[in-house]
Amino acid sequence: MQSHRIQEDDTSLQGLIDLERYPIHHLEGDRGRELIAECRQQLGQDGCVVLKGFVPEEALARLERETERLSPQAHYNQTETNPYNSDADPSLPASHPKNRFDDRTNGFVAGDRIDGDTIIRQVYSHPGFQHFIASVVGMEEIHQYADPLADLVVNVLREGCQHPWHYDTNEFIVTMMTRQSEGGGRFEYAPGIRSPEGENFDAVEQVIDGDRSRLKSLDLQPGDLQVFFGRYSLHRVTPVEGDRERHTVIFAYAKEPGFIGRPERAKRIFGRMAPVHERLLEEGMQRSDSLAD
């Protein structure tokens, strides 16, 4: 396996990650192997692992300034959506999850607005960081999105914004909180509620109805790194309260090279499409699984 250790003269991650606490530069060592084992165990239990204080305190202010500078470029969209980002199905009962819609209002800064000299772009594209994430999710390697809008994204939630119950397009997602809101904005999820073999609509309906028996709730803080299997775990971000925006960086990777999101999803989330999405519309697009979204 190719080594992706962070070299002593490599300054792109030095000071940006607490390498003493999280030795991603020495994954072959005892502490590195222990870190990977702990992350995999947590992921296996509930599909989510949070590395508290992944970014050291002295770097947090830099990260916050960066996403604050980018946040005015966020495209905000408001829509009524079900967990599958699909149309209603009149052949199903009104209580069915496909017919349960809620307000989704939030903003996204697209990847083509995030320059290569930003901290978050450097972390996202760093081979050592990618190797660490691949090891955590149990893959030989992972690949950056080929989607110029959705590869690296800043999610911006201002007062009243929320992201209701939904699933992610990709199998896993990596996020980093850089700014917390004054209130609300809690991340809640139902681990592994569906699988490639089935949607488990009955259980999803129970969650939407308010059953919290299978839910987990996270109080994420700036500098926390989260790895999450969001393709199979129903999740949401509760409405943000107060004047302070909630900022989260989304690092999007895929198992195979060349991943591009659906054109209609790009149009909805970013308010526009890139040329590659226009080509996909002309050529047609197929997903690798049969899940509803």
Position 129 scores a pLDDT of 96
C-alpha span between 264 and 280 (Å, rounded): 10
Does residue 3 sit within a domain? Answer: no
C-alpha span between 176 and 149 (Å, rounded): 18
Does residue 19 sit within a domain? Answer: no
The answer to whether 253 and 174 have CB atoms below 8 angstroms apart is yes
Does residue 250 sit within a domain? Answer: yes
Q: Which domain holds residue 89?
A: 24-282
Number of domains in the chain: 1
pLDDT bucket at 12, cuts 50 / 70 / 90: low
Does residue 160 sit within a domain? Answer: yes
Does residue 10 sit within a domain? Answer: no
pLDDT bucket at 289, cuts 50 / 70 / 90: low
Does residue 41 sit within a domain? Answer: yes
Position 6 scores a pLDDT of 47
Position 10 scores a pLDDT of 46
pTM summary value: 0.88
Domain at 107, CATH number: 2.60.120.620
Q: Is the model's pLDDT at 163 over the cut of 70? A: yes
Q: Of 10-14, 92-96, 154-158, 285-289, where does mean pLDDT reach its minimum? A: 285-289
The predicted-structure confidence for 84-129, as pLDDT tens digits, reads as follows 989 999 999 999 999 999 999 999 999 999 999 888 998 999 999 9
Is the model more confident about 13 or about 183?
183
Does residue 45 sit within a domain? Answer: yes
Q: Is the model's pLDDT at 167 over the cut of 80? A: yes
Position 220 scores a pLDDT of 93
